[in-house]
Structure 1
Amino acid sequence: SYLRAARKWRGALGAAAMRISPYHQVQRLVERQAFRSAGLKRVIAVSNFVRDDLIGEFGLAPEKTVTIYNGVDLDRFRPPLDPSARAAIRQKFIVPASARVVAFVGNGFARKGLGFLIEAWPLVAGGAFLLVAGSDRQTEKFVRRAHALNVGARIVFTGPQPNVNRIFHAADSFAMPSLFEPFGNVVMEAMASGLPAMTSAFSGVAEVIPPSMRGFRVENPDDVGEVALRLGALFDAPASLAADARATAEKFTWSRYAKELNALLESIK
Structure 2
Amino acid sequence: MKIDLLTREYPPHIYGGAGVHVEELSKVLAERAEVTVRAFDGPRKPDEIPDVANGSLRVVGYDVPSELAHDNLALQTFGIDLQMANDVEADIVHAHTWYACLAGRLAQQLHEIPLVVTAHSLEPFRPWKREQLGGGYNLSSWAERDAFTHADRVIAVSNGMKQDILTAYPAIDPAKICVVHNGITIADFSMPGPDDPGWKVFDRYHIDRSKPTLLFVGRVTRQKGLPYLLKAIHLISKDIQVVLCAGASDTKELGDEVRADFAQLQRERGNIIWIEEMLPRPELNALEHGCDAFICPSIYEPLGIVNLEAMACGLPVVASATGGIPEVVLDGVTGYLIPIEQEHDGSGTPIHPDDFVRDMAAAIDKLMADPQRAKEMGEAGYRRARDEFSWERIADETMDVYRQVLS
Could you state the TM-score of these two structures normalised by the residue count of structure 2? Answer: 0.57
Cα 1:170–1:140 shift into 2, 3 Å: farther
2:351 matches 1:225:
no
Q: Secondary structure at the match of 1:27?
A: helix
Structure 1 unmatched runs, 5+:
none
Structure 1 residues 240 and 165, CA gap change in structure 2 (3 angstroms): same
Change (3 A) 1:151 1:73: farther
Aligned to 2:148: 35
User: For the residues of structure 2 that align with 1:126 and 1:20, how far apart are their CA atoms?
Assistant: 40
Q: Distance in 1 between matches of 2:384 and 2:193?
A: 19
Contact 1:120 1:224 in 2 (8 A): yes
- Pairing 1:96–2:208 present: yes
* Contact 2:304/2:324, CA 8 A, preserved across alignment: yes
**Whose radius of gyration is greater, 1 or 2?**
2
Q: Structure 1 residues 173-182 or 59-68, which shifts more?
A: 59-68
Secondary structure of the residue aligned to 2:206 is coil
Secondary structure of 2:359's match?
Answer: helix
Matches of 1:125 and 1:28, distance apart in 2: 42
Residue 253 (structure 1) aligned with residue 390 (structure 2): yes
Q: Which residue of 2 aligns with 1:201?
A: 321
Deviates more, 1:84-93 or 1:232-241: 84-93
The answer to which of 245-254 and 220-229 deviates more is: 220-229
Q: Is the 8 A contact 2:303 2:328 kept in 1?
A: no
Question: After the TM superposition, which residues 36-51 of structure 1 pair with which residues of structure 2 at under 5 Å, given as runs?
Answer: 36-37=149-150, 40-51=151-162
Contact 1:101 1:129 in 2 (8 A): yes
- Higher percent of residues as strand: 2
The alpha carbon displacement at 1:241 in A equals: 1.5
- Structure 2 residue corresponding to 1:162, chosen from 277, 280, 290: 280
Are residues 243 and 215 of structure 1, via their aligned partners in 2, closer, same or farther at CA, if it must alter by over 3 Å? closer
CA distance in 2, matches of 1:239, 1:195: 8
Extract structure 1 runs of 4+ deviating beyond 6 A.
83-87
For 1:4 and 1:118, how far apart are their aligned partners in 2? 26
Give the match for residue 77 of structure 1.
189
Residue 32 (structure 1) shift: 2.7
Q: Which has the higher contact order (CA 8 A, sep 6+)?
A: 1
Q: How high is the TM-score relative to the length of structure 1? A: 0.84
* Greater displacement, 55-64 / 68-77: 55-64
How many aligned positions are there? 260
* Residue number among 150, 155, 177 corresponding to 1:65 in the alignment: 177
Whether the 8 Å contact between 1:2 and 1:180 is mirrored in structure 2 is no
8 Å Cα contact 1:121/1:151 also seen in 2: no
Opposite residue 266 of structure 1, the aligned amino acid is R
Identity, % of aligned pairs? 25
